[in-house]
Amino acid sequence: MSASTLSRSTAPSKQAPRGTGSRSKRGSSKRGSSKRGGSNRGGGFASKLTVNGLLIIGSAYMVVPVLWLVFASTKNAADLYGTSAYALGNFSLFENIANVANQDGGLFFRWLGNSVMYAGVGAVLGSLISVMAGYAFDKFQFRWKDSLFGFVLVGVLIPNTATVLPMYLLASLVGMTNTIWAVLIPVLCNPFGVYLARVYSASYVPAETLEAARMDGAGPIRSFFSLGLPMMMPGYITIALFQFVGVWNNFMLPLVMLQDQQLLPVSVGISIWQGYSVPQPEFTPMVITGSLLSIIPLLVAFIMLQRFWKSGLTAGSVK
């Protein structure tokens, strides 16, 4: 079933030269596209205009809403409703940021810090857990390996939202709701990360190297931490990046689990402010500015770590 589609897609990575990492893969694809650029003929002016025109329209659709957010965050409440959307009006960005910072004694930055903490721990620790499991599935032999991996793949297919409510009920049985653990423990579980890690382990870590390490007397744990993990580092970073984004974007889990405003991540916090802004429009600029502030860290991370998310998308889904 699903396992077949997923495992079929692992094929190409395994054919990739072992131990070379994603750098060489990217290099070859770049070469491929430049070769095509070289044999560029039959591309008339009209088709060039159509293709690039459509690309520009598509990208504009993606970018304009974010640009609107940037412009809107420079306006105070009166200008927001009064002036044209992309006009500058009175430049109130810093005033808005100050309002965001001062509301409830800096609660917003507390939320931002919580998000960084939840997503950071989820990414660093959760990915390590996934990478260890994926590595074991790839490199070790043990009983029920296939059925256990099947379990993991079923886990990939269970919608998170379907487990959130029962998890809340379980957490309330043991008195863990409204604590950071109620959010931190569930986000450590990333079955898709295990699947990706298995793919990375197969393509980055040659069995011969481990074999040699074993001959030299290194135990399996030592060879994982001193050989396997460093070789899989690009894969680890990719999984961590995706997990970071996943946790940062998580909404339903913290919404259900947490009542104490001091513990909320920024996504839930902002949605509470949005609720306030319905009867009190003066909250609107704060919602907008807060939204902008909360996406800047992720935008920066994505632009800086392009190499990793691209390789992650490739390993995950491309045949």
Partner 1 sequence: MATQALTTTVRRRGRALAGTGGRTAALFLVPFFAVFAIAMIAPVIYSLVLSFHSQQKSGLGFGEAKTVFVGLENYVQVFQSETFVEGIARLGLYCLIYIPCMVGGAVVFALLLDATVAKARKLFQLLVFLPHAVPGVIAALIWAYLYTPGISPLVQALQSGGIQINFLDAHLVLPSIVNIGVWEWTGYNVIILFTALQAVPREILEAARVDGAGEIRAAISIKFPLILPALSVIMLFTIIGTLQLFTEPSIISKATASVTSTWVPNLWAYDAAFIRHNLNQAAAASVIIAGLAAVLSLAVTRLSSRMNKS
What residues numbered 207-236 form the site for partner 1, per CB under 8 A? 207, 211, 214, 219-221, 224
| DSSP string across 18-52 | TT-HHHHHHHHHHHHHHHHHHT--S--HHHHHHHH
152 CB-contact burial (10 Å; exposed 0-12 / middle 13-18 / buried 19+): buried
- The single residue listed with the structure tokens 């860290």 is 297
Residue 25 token pair: 């893969």
The string of DSSP codes covering 106-121 is THHHHHHHHHHHHHHH
For partner 1, the binding residue among 78, 129, 180, 227 (CB under 8 A) is 129
Q: Kindly state the smallest distance separating residue 111's Cβ from partner 1, in Å.
A: 12
Nearer to partner 1, 98 or 207 (CB): 207
Identify residues 232-291 at the interface with partner 1 (CB under 8 A).
Answer: 245, 248-249, 251-252, 256, 267-268, 270-271, 274-275, 278, 284, 287-288, 291
User: Which residue shows structure tokens 């481990």?
Assistant: 210
Residues 6+ positions from 123 with CB-CB distance below 8 Å: 240, 241, 243, 244, 247
Cβ proximity to partner 1, 200 vs 224, nearer residue: 224
- Residue from 167, 229, 263, 286 in contact with partner 1 (CB under 8 A): 167
Question: Which tokens in the block code for residue 64?
Answer: 């304009």
The reply on whether position 147 binds partner 1 by CB under 8 A is no
Q: Which of residues 92-111 bind partner 1 (CB under 8 A)?
A: none
Q: Under the criterion CB under 8 A, does residue 316 sit at the interface with partner 1?
A: yes
Contact range with partner 1 by CB under 8 A, out of 93-101, 102-110, 229-237, 294-302: 294-302
Candidates 89-97, 104-112, 154-162, 231-239 — which segment interacts with partner 1 by CB under 8 A?
154-162
Q: Contact 145/134 with Cβ under 8 angstroms?
A: no
> Could you say whether residue 201 binds partner 1 (CB under 8 A)?
no
Distance CA 148, CA 192 (A): 14
Q: Which stretch binds partner 1 (CB under 8 A): 90-98, 101-109, 139-147, 229-237?
A: 139-147
Options 90, 102, 226, 317; binder of partner 1; rule CB under 8 A: 317
DSSP 8-state class, residue 227: I
The region of 59-67, 90-98, 101-109, 230-238 touching partner 1 under the rule CB under 8 A is 59-67
